Structure 1
Amino acid sequence: MSHSSEPSAEIGFDDFLKVDVRAGVIVDAQPFPEARKPAIKLWVDFGEPLGVKKSSAQITVHYAPEELIGKQVMAVTNFPPRQIGKFMSEILVLGFPDENGEVVLARPDKQVPKGGRLF
């Protein structure tokens, strides 16, 4: 994954609509010490019909597992699952790099319903 600040190639609106970005609530977060890079295993509840989905997130610089429970996050929910070590990641939790390139989670600034889709 590129962390470039260069603009991406132009896409059409129909391409944007293919990316299913939804709001969910972190219901569990566990350390992931066996990951190649420091990470936290997340379980995010998107409500029905998606339910709870898992993700591995490299967010250990700014977040501890216990402080993540109950936080709303945004995630891409329609990528294929990806094996990360012995853990199957089903979603991509979204974030932005800080001034040192470390991930800061992308979150709604007000509470929104679980499973709400970005538009």
Structure 2
Amino acid sequence: MQASDPLSETLFALADPTRRAILARLAEGEATVNEIAAPFDISLPAISRHLKVLEHAGLISRGRDAQWRPCRLETKALKNVDAWLEHYRRFWTGSFDKMDAYIAELKIKDTPK
């Protein structure tokens, strides 16, 4: 995948359910590739490809501990997505507030006097 910007790379990485499941696992703490692969019914090379996409997007990093390369969750890319979504969150919250006010107005009009 060749994205034009970091946000696109992050969203591309998050678009796959296996990669989201890997991130959920890493939210519990760092893990080796074998630990990450355990619950999945896919090959280790396929898991490694998913990890490369996540690492390229800045969602994970890999350390070195003797022969092990533990993976850990990185939060900066997720914070960037959250910042981008904030604009839309404000829009939806404002829309829901307006809808609540309209519904309350309708209820007042519909109450028998």
* Range class of TM-score, shorter chain: under 0.3
Structure showing the higher strand proportion among its residues: 1
Structure showing the higher helix proportion among its residues: 2
After TM superposition, the score normalised by the length of structure 1 is: 0.24
Name which one, 1 or 2, has greater alpha-carbon Rg: 2
Q: Which has the higher contact order (CA 8 A, sep 6+)?
A: 1
